Amino acid sequence: MPMPEKGTDWESLKQEMLARAGNDVKWREGKTAVYVFNAGPDVERVQKEAYTLFMSENGLGPMAFPSLKKMEDEVVAMGLSLLHAPEGAAGNITSGGTDSITMAMKAARDYARSAKGAKGTLNIVIPWSAHPAFDKAAKVMEIEVRRIPVRDYLADVEAMGKAADGKTIMIVGSAPCFPYGLIDPIGELGKLAEARGLWLHVDACVGGYIAPFARMNGGDVPPFDFEVRGVSSMSADLHKYGYCAKGASTVLFRSEALRTHMIFDCDDWPGGRMITPTLAGTRPGGAIAAAWAVMNFLGVEGYRAKHKQVTDAREKIAAGVEALGFRVVGNPQLGIIAFTHDEIDCMAVWGKLFERGWFTSLTTVPAGLHLMLSPFHLQVADTYLADIAWAVEQVKAGMTGAAREARYS
């Protein structure tokens, strides 16, 4: 498709874009439980206005834009403080979880090379439930990935200890993992890391900005962050349960000395010395500004209130689906829940829910339904339960052939 010779006026373009969006999921109506975190119109407005205020500014230039540097420093400081980081801890805003994980792995690798003289093919040891971002980063850096089967859906610390060797640059626990929404035994992983001198990364991409508040609200959240002494680094996404605009995550290190291994510094080209902490060159000022604005707009009280709605929705849905004969995977404490059924095909249930406008995710092992809940879901939890009850009836009827007969009679 060639570029149009002449430009089109903005009003027409806007109308066309809105028309195209008509085919997208209607996430504002609450029937989408993946991809989008819907904290309501007040937060959306702050994201949008803060983003546009700094949309053209570039986080690559802290001297030109001290405003962005200060906002980044404050966002990172808030993240570190929420996640019990000690004095002297450090971090950066990245473009997302994949970026944070990639940069933490780069830091761990360079640390292993410089501090421990690591050579040859290095590896990471991760639970089977860890996010594919680790494999992507490993692919780029030619690092071997050792995915270790989970035990009761959680990281198997003993097996991970056996899999780790002198070439292991990092072991990983998730808080929580995306498929099950369960927090790995970070305390035990921390002990393993300390005993063996291993770099433990906690992937709190989806949990880092909900778990601290769920705990303040009285949730049964085990120690999962820098409070665990063996934790060297963490990834925590602002654009997930931080309710910030997309394109924002934090990568955090126990000390500035560890963070130093992440930083890229290049002088050998005609443009002068270029120092970049993260994978990006140009860094969107809007994403940094929106993160700063949303965090200050909500504050601890705001996050606690929003996350209370999330965990209430999760509890309500858990009880409801259990009453329908589903089995919740493990004991989820945050915003993700997965559930399976011993007799009914969950994929078929998913299909029926899709017919009713629900766009949600799935798990493969066990075959189950997956929900990543937002505050808004509390308002539609009853609708979801009514629809899944209907879906189960439909699937059951189909299993006996009755539905097919009814359709063709």
Ligand X SMILES: *Cc1c(COP(=O)(O)O)cnc(C)c1O
* From 93-101, 146-154, 340-348, 376-384, span contacting ligand X (CB under 6 A): 93-101
Give whichever of 179 and 230 is closer to ligand X, judged by the CB atom: 179
Among 30, 59, 91, 97, binds ligand X (CB under 6 A): 97
Residue 148 near residue 189 (C-beta atoms within 8 A): no
Distance between CA atoms of 303 and 16, rounded to whole angstroms? 36
Q: Binders of ligand X among 127-186, rule CB under 6 A?
A: 131, 133, 174, 177-178
Give whichever of 112 and 211 is closer to ligand X, judged by the CB atom: 211
Give whichever of 65 and 134 is closer to ligand X, judged by the CB atom: 134
Among 172, 205, 210, 328, binds ligand X (CB under 6 A): 205
Interaction between residue 98 and ligand X (CB under 6 A): yes
* From 90-98, 145-153, 255-263, 285-293, span contacting ligand X (CB under 6 A): 90-98
Question: From residue 46 to residue 65, what is the string marking binding to ligand X with x (rule CB under 6 A)?
Answer: --------------------
Interaction between residue 387 and ligand X (CB under 6 A): no
Residue 251 near residue 345 (C-beta atoms within 8 A): no
Among 96, 173, 284, 286, binds ligand X (CB under 6 A): 96
CB-side neighbour CA atoms (13 Å) of 356: 19
Q: How far is the CB of 178 from ligand X (least distance, A)?
A: 4
Give whichever of 35 and 354 is closer to ligand X, judged by the CB atom: 35
Q: Binders of ligand X among 253-312, rule CB under 6 A?
A: none
Give whichever of 31 and 131 is closer to ligand X, judged by the CB atom: 131
**Site size for ligand X (CB under 6 A):** 14
Q: How far is the CB of 237 from ligand X (least distance, A)?
A: 5
Give whichever of 30 and 247 is closer to ligand X, judged by the CB atom: 247
Give whichever of 156 and 203 is closer to ligand X, judged by the CB atom: 203
Interaction between residue 338 and ligand X (CB under 6 A): no
Q: How far is the CB of 46 from ligand X (least distance, A)?
A: 20
Q: How far is the CB of 137 from ligand X (least distance, A)?
A: 10
| Most distant pair of Cα atoms in the chain: their distance | 77
Interaction between residue 241 and ligand X (CB under 6 A): no
Interaction between residue 203 and ligand X (CB under 6 A): yes
What is the bridge-based pairing of β-strands 231-237 and 249-253?
antiparallel
Q: How far is the CB of 205 from ligand X (least distance, A)?
A: 4
* From 147-155, 200-208, 222-230, 363-371, span contacting ligand X (CB under 6 A): 200-208
Under 8 Å CB-to-CB from 354, ≥6 apart: which residues? none
* From 202-210, 281-289, 361-369, 400-408, span contacting ligand X (CB under 6 A): 202-210
Interaction between residue 381 and ligand X (CB under 6 A): no
Q: How far is the CB of 211 from ligand X (least distance, A)?
A: 12
Report which residue's Cβ sits closest to ligand X: 97
Residue carrying structure tokens 């806007």: 14
Q: Mapped to the 3 state alphabet, what secondary structure does the chain carry? A: CCCCCCCCCHHHHHHHHHHHHCCCCCHHHCCECCCCCCCCHHHHHHHHHHHHHCCCCECCCCCCCHHHHHHHHHHHHHHHHHCCCCCCCEEEEECCHHHHHHHHHHHHHHHHHHHHCCCCCCEEEEECCCCCHHHHHHHHHCCEEEEECCECCECCHHHHHHHCCCCEEEEEEECCCCCCCCCCCHHHHHHHHHHHCCCEEEECCCCCCCHHHHHHCCCCCCCCCCCCCCEEEEEEECCCCCCCCCCCEEEEECCHHHHHHHCEEECCCCCCCEEECCCCCCCEHHHHHHHHHHHHHHHHHHHHHHHHHHHHHHHHHHHHHHHCCCEECCCCCCCEEEEECCCCCHHHHHHHHHHCCCECEEECCCCEEEEECCCCHHHHHHHHHHHHHHHHHHHHHHHCCHHHHHHHC
Q: How far is the CB of 209 from ligand X (least distance, A)?
A: 12
Interaction between residue 237 and ligand X (CB under 6 A): yes
Residue 368 near residue 346 (C-beta atoms within 8 A): yes
Q: Where on the chain is the footprint of ligand X (CB under 6 A)?
A: 96-98, 101, 131, 133, 174, 177-178, 203, 205-206, 237, 249
